[in-house]
Amino acid sequence: MHGRCLDLKSSALFSAGVFLSGVVGNTAGGMLSDRILKRTGDVVAARRNMIIIRFWVRCCFSR
């Protein structure tokens, strides 16, 4: 913490933000995957399409 100039409260808020964004992303991904599954009826297509979508989103938001 001292190397990054963060106190305990700031690091806790940062960690909570990372955790909550993971929860939201995981939930949204699951809901979207379920929607693809209901449309296509193909489990492999639903999972594969979600992986492809996640890679594209990651490429768009990475530095």
State pLDDT tens for residues 42-58: 999 999 988 998 899 88
- Do 42 and 32 contact (CB within 8 A), yes or no? no
Q: What is the pTM of this model?
A: 0.67
Across the chain, mean pLDDT equals 87
Torsion sign, CA atoms 20, 26, 29, 31: negative
> To the nearest whole percent, how much of the chain has pLDDT over 70?
92
Indicate whether 4 pLDDT > 80: no
What is the number of residues in the chain? Answer: 63
Q: Are 52 and 36 in contact (CB under 8 A)?
A: no
Query: What pLDDT does residue 7 have?
Result: 79
Distance between CA atoms of 36 and 46, rounded to whole angstroms? 5
CA-based radius of gyration for the chain: 17
